[in-house]
Each structure stands twice: as structure tokens, then as C-alpha cells.
Structure 1
Amino acid sequence: MRCETASLLVFALASVVAVNSPCPPGFVLYKKSCYWFSSTMANFPEARSFCQYLGSHLAKVTSKDEDDFVRGYASSHGRAANYYLGATDLNTEGTWLWEGQQPMIYSHWSPGQPDNGGGLEHCLDIKRRYENYLWNDENCTMYNANFICEKEL
């Protein structure tokens, strides 16, 4: 009986939290955006499409504060080996732009990155092995990773 009561209480509390959140189900609120940390893997174009399907875009990390949140949440809750974020240098090698052609002002590259991996790495991901999710350039189509979607409020 106690387990049933506890289960009902947990379900009721989860329902209240979900109703009060301005974010869609499965998204996490941080400041003025909602973030979704995927549990599935995809290449960069597939990840971008999936985020668009959810009414969002691949995450744009534009400040140290936001970077600390994304890295911290990935470390404590997501725990995937790596996640795509929404920047590429596909238009001009070495010029990293967020989706929507927004210039990258803030960055947190792992030492030695971006390295362009033989001319094949043009999409941004974060890797757990690089000092707890520092930034890395990766192949956009031949590589599968988890990904982070963002939806501004």
C-alpha cells in the first residue's frame, strides 16, 4: 500500500511540475530557453531536423554561463559521450557560425581544437573525454552523436 501511495504522490508532483513549466515535456528550463538532451544518436543534419521537428534548433551556446549549464547538465543527467551543438564552419573554413548565420562570439574549444581533421570536420560537438564536454569539431555526416536542442521562450 505504501508503494502505491508513494507512486501516486510522485506522479502527482511530476504532473504539477510539468504543468508549471513553460517548456515542452522533456525539455529543461534554463533562464530564457528550454533545452532537450537527446538520448539517441544522429549525424548533424539528422540532429538539426529532429530539433526542427520539436519546434527548436540545435543549441547555440553564447556565454560562459550557458556553457556551464549545458556542460553541467550533460555531465550530471545526460552522460552521453558527446553532443552536437548548432554551429558549423561549412560556409568558410575556420569561420564558425551558429544556425541562422549568427557569428560565434563565445567559444570553449578543447586544446588543439578546432583542428579540421583532415579537412572533414565542420560541425561542433562537445565531448566528455575532452575535460568534461569542451568543444570539438567533428565530421557532420559520417559521425553519429547525441545532440542538444534549444527552444527560446
Structure 2
Amino acid sequence: MRLELASVLLCSLAFAVAEDTSRCPGGFIKHGGACYWFSRIKGTFAEARSYCQFLGSHLARITSKDEDNFLRSHATGTGKSYWLGAMDLGREGAFMWEGGFPLNYTNWTPGEPNNLSTGDKLELCLILYRHYDHEWNNVDCGSAENFICERRVSGCCCSK
């Protein structure tokens, strides 16, 4: 894991451990029944997944147009692409959210998902792609991108 990513993990430990799960942790933004954290650091898909797990969350799973619009509106203007929690492991082009959840809602960039591998099988993962107004795109899971963590809340009264 990159030194920068490891340093941020250690610095976040004190805040993550003491958080109340009925509220959004510091740095997370509330929307609906979930809290979202937009990274300022980059990592591979595997590093991003580990970071989110460390924060008691998972890579974001978009399940509705409302949720997609919310995340895209926060991503717009950052100049960054963001990992989401889906990949095509197992069967190229057949994306699933982590945990085996199907993609019942999608917002792919026109022509996506495409087959990026030309001979060598690449594992492809889902990003909000900055070059296409943060619509969905598939890229090599080993590339370094920013990421969005999602965490469900157990209470009714989350604050920003």
C-alpha cells in the first residue's frame, strides 16, 4: 500500500473508532439513509476497498437515479474520477456490486461498458468518469483513482 494511503489510514483511526453509527462520521456527507466520503487521495480498486472497510464502510453502490445525481453533483468540479464498488470479475462485461449485488440501476457513458482488454484479461472496475460528466465507465482495477466510501446509518437523524 502506498505510504500516503497508509498515513491517512493511521491518522483517521482515532476518528473512525469512536464514531456513533447513528450519525455520519466526520468528513462524510449525509444523503438519504447513507453517508458518503469522497477521498482526496488515490489508490487502486483494492486499496480503495480496504480504506473504505477501515472506515467502517464500503465502496459506494449506486442504486437509484437520485443517489447517482447526488454523487455526481458532489464529484463535478473536482476534476477527479472516483471508484465505485462494482467490478466484472468472473465474466467480462457482467458487472456486479461487491457482495454479489446486481446493478439494477446504471448510468453508463454511451458505449460502455466496453471490452478494454485486447488479448490479456484485465479486471475492470467501475468509476464515475470525470471526462464524461461523471457518468459510469470501466477501467483497469489496478489504476490509481480517487474513491467514494458509503456507510449506512442506523438512526434517523444524521447531520452533514
TM-score, length of structure 1 as denominator length = 0.81
One-letter amino acid matched to 1:152: R
Which protein has the larger Cα radius of gyration, Structure 1 or Structure 2? 1
Show the counterpart of 1:148.
Answer: 148
Show the counterpart of 1:40.
Answer: 41
One-letter amino acid matched to 2:101: Q
Q: Distance in 2 between matches of 1:31 and 1:105?
A: 18
Counterparts of 1:1-153 in structure 2, within 5 Å, are: 22-76=23-77, 79-118=78-117, 119-130=121-132, 132-141=133-142, 143-153=143-153
Q: Distance in 2 between matches of 1:94 and 1:147?
A: 21
One-letter amino acid matched to 1:128: R
Q: Distance in 2 between matches of 1:127 and 1:94?
A: 17
Kindly report the root-mean-square deviation, in angstroms, between the aligned alpha carbons of the 2 structures. Answer: 1.5
Deviation at 1:121, TM superposition (A): 5.0
In the superposition, relative to structure 1, how do residues 80 and 140 fare at CA in structure 2: closer, same or farther (>3 Å)? Answer: same
Q: Distance in 1 between matches of 2:76 and 2:53?
A: 25
Is the contact between residue 121 and residue 137 of structure 1 (CA under 8 Å) also seen in structure 2? no
Deviation at 1:51, TM superposition (A): 0.2
Q: Structure 1 or 2: larger helix share?
A: 1
One-letter amino acid matched to 1:47: A
Show the counterpart of 2:8.
Answer: none
In structure 2, stretches of 5+ residues that fail to align are 1-19, 154-160
Q: Distance in 1 between matches of 2:36 and 2:90?
A: 26
Task: Write the deviation string for residues 55-86 of structure 1: whole angstroms up to 9, x where unpaired.
Answer: 0000000110100000001115xx14200000
In structure 1, stretches of 5+ residues that fail to align are 1-18
Deviation at 1:87, TM superposition (A): 0.3
Q: Distance in 1 between matches of 2:128 and 2:59?
A: 13
